[in-house]
Amino acid sequence: MGTNDTATILYDKLIKMLTRAVAAESGLSLTRTNLVHALRLMQTSRRIDDREVLMKRQNRIYFQISGAGHEAIQIAAGMALRPGHDWFYPYYRDRALALSLGITPHMMMLQAVGSAEDTQSGGRQMPSHWSSPDLHIVSGSSCTGSQFVQAVGCAHAGRLLDPTSDEVTLVTSGEGATSEGEFWEALNGACLGKLPIIFLIQDNHYAISVPVEAQTPGGNLSKLLAGYADHLKMMEIDGTDFGTSFAAMTEAVSHCRGGLGPVLVHAHCIRPYSHSLSDDERYYKSESERAAEADRDPLILFPRSLLREGLITERELSELMQDVDREVQDAADYSLQAPPPARNTALQFLYSPKVDPTSTAFEREPEFTGEPRTMVDSITLTLYEELQANSRVVVFGEDVADCSRSALLPEVKGKGGVFKTTQGLQRQFGSDRVFNTPIAEAGIVGRAIGMATRGMKPVAEIQFFDYIWPAMMQLRDELPVLRWRSNNGFACPAVIRVPIGGYLTGGSIYHSQSGEVAFTHIPGLRVVFPSNALDAVGLLRTAIRCDDPVLFLEHKKLYREPYNRSPHPGADFMIPFGKAKIVRPGDKLTVITYGAVVEKALRAATEIGASIEVIDLRTLAPYDWETIATSVKKTSRVLIAHEDVLSWGYGAEISARVADELFGHLDAPVKRVGALDTWVGYSPELEDAILPQVDDLVRAIRSLLAY
All structural domains of the chain:
3-337 (3.40.50.970), 360-568 (3.40.50.970), 581-706 (3.40.50.920)
Give the model confidence (pLDDT) of 653-697 as tens digits.
999 999 999 999 999 999 999 999 999 999 999 999 999 999 999
**pLDDT, position 21:** 44
**pLDDT, position 307:** 96
**Among residues 261, 259, 205, which one has the least CA distance to residue 228?**
261
CA distances from 656 to 3, 516, 565, 671 (A): 70, 18, 34, 11
Residue 24: HSE in the Cβ half-sphere, 13 Å Cα cutoff:
6
Residue 325: HSE in the Cβ half-sphere, 13 Å Cα cutoff:
6
Show the CA angle centred on residue 534, arms to residues 530 and 536, nearest 5°.
35
Give the integer Cα–Cα distance in Å for 679 and 378. Answer: 30
Show the CA angle centred on residue 170, arms to residues 297 and 446, nearest 5°.
125
**pLDDT, position 23:** 43
Report the catalytic residues.
Answer: 511
Give the model confidence (pLDDT) of 32-89 as tens digits.
999 999 999 999 999 999 999 999 999 999 999 999 999 999 999 999 999 999 999 9
Strands 566-568 and 369-373: antiparallel
Low-confidence ranges of the chain (pLDDT < 70): 1-28
Give the model confidence (pLDDT) of 394-439 as tens digits.
999 999 999 999 999 999 999 999 999 999 999 999 999 999 999 9
**Among residues 22, 42, 43, which one has the least CA distance to residue 31?**
22
**pLDDT, position 325:** 97
